[in-house]
Amino acid sequence: NETTVTEFILLGFSSNPALRLCLFTLFSVLYSATLIGNALVFVLICLDYRLHSPMYFFLCHLSIVDICYASNNVPHMLRNLLGQGKTISFAGCGTQIHLYLIFALTECVLLAMMSYDRYVAICHPLRYALIMNRRVCLTLAAVSWAFGFIFGTLQASLALHLPFCGPCEVDHFFCEILAVLKLACTDTTVNKVLIFAVCVCFLLFPLALILISYVHILATILRIRSAPGWHKTFSTCGSHLTVVSLFYGNAIFMYMGPGSGNSSGREKVLSLFYSLVSPTLNPLIYSLRNKQVKEALLKLQRRQRVFHSV
């Protein structure tokens, strides 16, 4: 198919200059927090040998996904809010769609892998090191990235091979696939069916596995009689459940809920959650309030003081 559209116009948010300036300030702070928080988690996990465990190995990959996810959408959105980046080339739009899908689908699988790690750690603690060995962790991480890349590429390719004859205004702050499909001058039923099928595979199926894992975890927790054991288990699993609830809940509501793809306002708000809120919260929920991570951070600060004093 041949496209007659060479660039798209991203409508973004309000046209009110004062509101756009407020949003620019807020989103800049959140984006900076996302980069700093996730980069800090990544560095701490790499530098401190005590954090070289399967749980932190997956958290490291989650930090990479969050940094890439936010950096794919937010910089162009900030330029748009300043009135400098409303247009985006067809190739640039295609790149945004492709990377957005890859990172979103990778995170879906990665969260399911993390729930399996928690299941093994709590339900089979004596066999944990044997089951979650280095080879298994690398395989699970590779599968997450491979699935995200393959299915993200498939969806993006089908969407970008549609004919776009105009109008070329995308009612969004980045090239989100549902918003772009509205501009195709042909039937997009096949694309929407594929999106729904991928949602079933990457949202409902992993979510079912996560819930099954936590049913077993809950049964194990109920057999723990010591208060410290309860506290440690709930602290570890509570963080993961919080992120899972926010991530999968919003994704299911956006892509599988009634009237999904029809409300541009709802799409923008939910996409903001994925692009900014979730990547900002993940380091705080998962890592930076964790005792081991706090100790690693204090150790790094002491090292810096010694280095500067020398």
Give tens-digit pLDDT for 130-144: 999 999 999 999 999
Percent of the chain with pLDDT over 70: 86
Q: Does the structure show a pLDDT above 60 at 218?
A: yes
Q: Please check whether residue 100 is in contact with residue 177, taking contact to mean a CB–CB distance below 8 angstroms.
A: yes
Please report which confidence band the pLDDT of residue 249 belongs to, taking 50, 70 and 90 as the band edges.
confident
Tokens of 138: 């690398």
How far, in Å, CA of 73 to CA of 38, rounded? 16
Q: Which of 24-28, 227-231, 296-300 has the lowest mean pLDDT?
A: 227-231
- 260: tokens are 């999904």
pLDDT number for residue 267:
77
- pLDDT for residue 263: 55
What was the pLDDT predicted at 259? 60
DSSP run (H or E) holding 7: strand 7-10
Confidence of residue 289 (pLDDT cuts 50, 70, 90): low
Res 1: pLDDT: 44
DSSP state of 50: G
Interval 245-274 mean pLDDT: 75
Place 226 in a pLDDT band, splitting at 50, 70 and 90: low
pLDDT above 80 (res 128): yes
pLDDT at 57 exceeding the cut of 80: yes
Q: Picking from 40-44, 83-87, 110-114, 122-126, which range would have the lowest pLDDT averaged per residue?
A: 83-87
Segment 184-205 shows an average pLDDT of: 90
Average pLDDT in the 38-46 region? 89
Mean pLDDT of 290-294: 73
- Specify the pLDDT at position 187: 87
- Cα dist from 304 to 296, 298, 301, 307, whole Å: 12, 10, 5, 5
Identify the pLDDT of residue 234.
Answer: 66
Model confidence at 220, pLDDT cuts 50, 70, 90, reads confident
Q: Which residues of 64-85 are buried (b: 16+ CB within 10 A; e: fewer)?
A: bbbbbbbbbbbebbbbbbeeee
Residue 310 has pLDDT above 60, yes or no: no
How high does pLDDT run on average in the chain? 84
61 versus 165: the higher-pLDDT residue is 61
Question: What pLDDT does 96 receive?
Answer: 93
Which of 58-62, 167-171, 245-249 is most confident? 58-62
At a CB cut-off of 8 Å and minimum separation 6, what does 307 contact?
A: none
What domains, with CATH codes, occur in the chain?
7-308 (1.20.1070.10)
Q: DSSP class of residue 295?
A: H
216 Cβ contact list (under 8 Å, min separation 6): 119, 123
Q: What is the 3-state secondary structure (H, E, C) of the chain?
A: CCCCCCEEEECCCCCCHHHHHHHHHHHHHHHHHHHHHHHHHHHHHHHCHHHCCHHHHHHHHHHHHHHHHHHHHHHHHHHHHCCCCCEEEHHHHHHHHHHHHHHHHHHHHHHHHHHHHHHHHHHCHHHHHHHCCHHHHHHHHHHHHHHHHHHHHHHHHHHHCCCCCCCCEECCCCCCHHHHHCCCCCCCHHHHHHHHHHHHHHHHHHHHHHHHHHHHHHHHHCCCCCHHHHHHHHHHHHHHHHHHHHHHHHHHHHHCCCCCCCCHHHHHHHHHHHHHHHHHHHHHHHHHCCHHHHHHHHHHHHHHHHHHHC
261 and 267 Cβ atoms separated by less than 8 Å? yes
Average pLDDT over every residue of 128-157 = 94
CA angle (18 as vertex; 14, 24 as ends), nearest 5: 75
165: β partners: none
pLDDT computed for residue 225 by the predictor: 63
CA distances to 21, 26, 30, 63, 83 from 18, rounded to whole Å, are 5, 13, 19, 33, 12
